[in-house]
């Protein structure tokens, strides 16, 4: 009998054998990659006696065409009620309204962690010499920074009013033709993000957490993020984690907490990838880093993502690439991003056997050079298959 996922008294998830999980098919190539991914999910779950009751909810173009709304309230309420969901890529409406459906979902449900694991799968084409050195997990703060959307347009009365206030109150002179944005970084938002990263590192046996920031320039926002992170280590984690300054880079059996400036980090994840493990950072830095790292291990086409509130238990897992509408319905594109987002979802549910089996089968399929066009064109001796055929090949290797 299908049941809802719920929370236990201690805040952990209670996951029945047959959970109900809402899904959004996704726009564009969602019509191809969602069925392919579901085939893999159902086959892997069946091995361990699980059966997910998939509940379709609408967002994006499909929702607009059927309901006149890009993000119906019923969809938001379904994710709120059932706690866990998964989605394909969504179109961002043009010309006003919701800035981004993905950002809207994150903010409405307060999904404050954008979780982006990045690792290499043997055989995947890569532009770098040693992609196997990349094995990082990015914790990107999802609700603050410039993504908060607090900005006014140039040449508007709102911009003039804000510019006048800033001049009178702080002596800040801003050009008359400037748009102006506000970048909020709070102690609350910073600490809950870094707390989640530390808990993850400790529970998964990871070596270190690096706080990535631009605090040398933005001292009271990104610099504060760094400071609050080190404070948190001493306040809540001093038995399990230690900062670099307090141990000289020799943490013993504790998780090492260190920090790095954002610009040099973008260089060092290329030149010293093995020195990074878990990364905790703000919204914009995390956006840059996660996509740059994805390029090192095969591209955003197989990059998974999850948006999680570790306090309420809510999580929405998603493809991180775009909708690629010109390929929609051609059964052509790589479903890897949704498949690996499902892996993240199953790990979050505690179904590690299901998750590990999918990863192993995906690795074996790629190692056998059975791949979709995006990889086939970059690999010698590859067998190019359709999106659905790639999923079937993974199922054959489960």
For Cα atoms 376, 332, 39, give the angle at the middle one, nearest 5 degrees: 105
Describe the strand order of the beta sheet including 278-281 as a list of residue ranges: 53-56, 20-24, 84-87, 315-319, 304-308, 113-119, 135-141, 278-281, 208-213, 255-261, 241-243
CB 226 within 8 A of CB 212: no
Rounded to whole angstroms, how far apart are CA atoms 100 and 102? 5
- For the chain, what is the total number of helices (H) and then of strands (E)? 14, 17
DSSP-derived letter for residue 148 is G
Q: Is 175 annotated as a binding residue?
A: no
The Cβ of residue 145 has, within 10 Å, a number of other Cβ atoms equal to 22
Q: Is 291 annotated as a binding residue?
A: no
183: annotated active-site residue: no
Contact 147, 283 (CB under 8 A): yes
106 close to 114: Cβ distance less than 8 angstroms: yes
State the catalytic residue, choosing from 42, 263, 353, 374: 263
> Is 342 a known ligand-binding residue?
no
Catalytic residue among 82, 120, 147, 230: 147
Q: Is 206 assigned a ligand-binding role in the annotation?
A: no
Q: Does the annotation list 100 as a binding residue?
A: yes
Residue 291 has phi, psi (to 5 degrees) of -75, -40
Strands 255-261 and 241-243: parallel
**Residue 251 counted as an annotated binding residue:** no
Q: Is 321 marked as binding a ligand?
A: yes
Is 287 part of any known ligand binding site? yes
| Catalytic position from the list 27, 287, 331, 357 | 287
The answer to the question of whether 207 is labelled as a binding residue is: no
Question: Taking the mean position of all CA atoms in its chain, how far away is CA 166?
Answer: 35
Selected catalytic residue, list 214, 230, 259, 332:
214
Q: Tell me whether residue 377 is annotated as binding.
A: yes
Q: Does the annotation mark 122 as catalytic? A: no
Does 140 show up as a binding residue in the annotation?
A: yes
Active site residue 263: yes
- 327 known member of a binding site: yes
The answer to whether the annotation marks 253 as part of a ligand binding site is: no
48 as an active site residue: the answer is no
Q: What is the residue whose two structure tokens read 């996509």?
A: 291
Would the annotation count 364 as a binding residue?
Answer: no
Q: Which residues are annotated as a binding site?
A: 91, 100, 102, 106, 116, 140, 287, 321-327, 334, 373, 377
Q: Which residues are annotated as a binding site for D-threo-isocitrate?
A: 100, 102, 106, 116, 140
Question: Which positions are annotated as active-site residues?
Answer: 147, 214, 263, 287
Q: Which residues are annotated as a binding site for Mg(2+)?
A: 287
Q: Which residues are annotated as a binding site for NADP(+)?
A: 91, 321-327, 334, 373, 377
């Amino acid at each position: 009998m299908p049941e809802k996922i719920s929370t236990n008294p201690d805040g952990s998830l209670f996951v029945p054998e047959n959970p109900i999980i809402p899904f959004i098919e996704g726009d564009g190539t969602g019509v191809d990659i969602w069925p392919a991914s579901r085939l893999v999910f159902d086959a892997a779950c069946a091995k361990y006696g699980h059966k997910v009751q998939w509940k379709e909810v609408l967002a994006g173009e499909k929702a607009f065409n059927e309901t006149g709304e890009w993000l119906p309230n019923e969809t938001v309420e379904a994710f709120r009620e059932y706690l866990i969901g998964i989605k394909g890529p969504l179109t961002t409406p043009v010309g006003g309204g919701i800035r981004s459906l993905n950002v809207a979902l994150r903010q409405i449900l307060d999904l404050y962690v954008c979780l982006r694991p990045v690792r290499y799968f043997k055989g995947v084409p890569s532009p770098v010499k040693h992609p196997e050195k990349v094995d990082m997990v990015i914790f990107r703060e999802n609700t603050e920074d410039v993504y908060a959307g607090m900005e006014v347009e140039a040449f508007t009365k709102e911009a003039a009013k804000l510019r006048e206030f800033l001049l009178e109150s702080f002596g800040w002179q801003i050009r008359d033709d400037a748009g102006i944005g506000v970048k909020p970084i709070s102690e609350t938002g910073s600490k809950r993000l870094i707390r989640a990263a530390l808990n993850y590192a400790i529970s998964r046996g990871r070596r270190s957490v690096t706080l990535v920031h631009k605090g040398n320039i933005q001292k009271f926002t990104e610099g504060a993020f760094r400071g609050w992170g080190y404070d948190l280590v001493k306040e809540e984690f001093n038995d399990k984690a230690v900062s670099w300054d307090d141990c000289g880079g020799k943490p013993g059996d504790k998780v090492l907490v260190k920090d790095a400036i954002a610009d040099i980090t973008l260089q060092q994840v290329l030149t010293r990838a093995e020195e990074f493990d878990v990364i905790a950072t703000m919204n914009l830095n995390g956006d840059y880093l996660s996509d740059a790292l994805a390029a090192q291990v095969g591209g955003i086409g197989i990059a998974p993502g999850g948006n999680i509130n570790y306090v309420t238990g809510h999580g929405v897992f998603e493809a991180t690439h775009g909708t690629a509408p010109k390929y929609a319905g051609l059964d052509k594109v790589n479903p890897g991003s949704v498949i690996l987002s499902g892996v993240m979802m199953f790990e979050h549910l505690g179904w590690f056997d299901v998750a590990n089996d999918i990863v192993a089968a995906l690795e074996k399929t790629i190692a056998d050079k059975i791949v979709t066009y995006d990889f086939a064109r970059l690999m010698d001796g590859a067998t190019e298959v359709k999106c659905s055929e790639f999923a079937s090949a993974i199922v054959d290797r489960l």
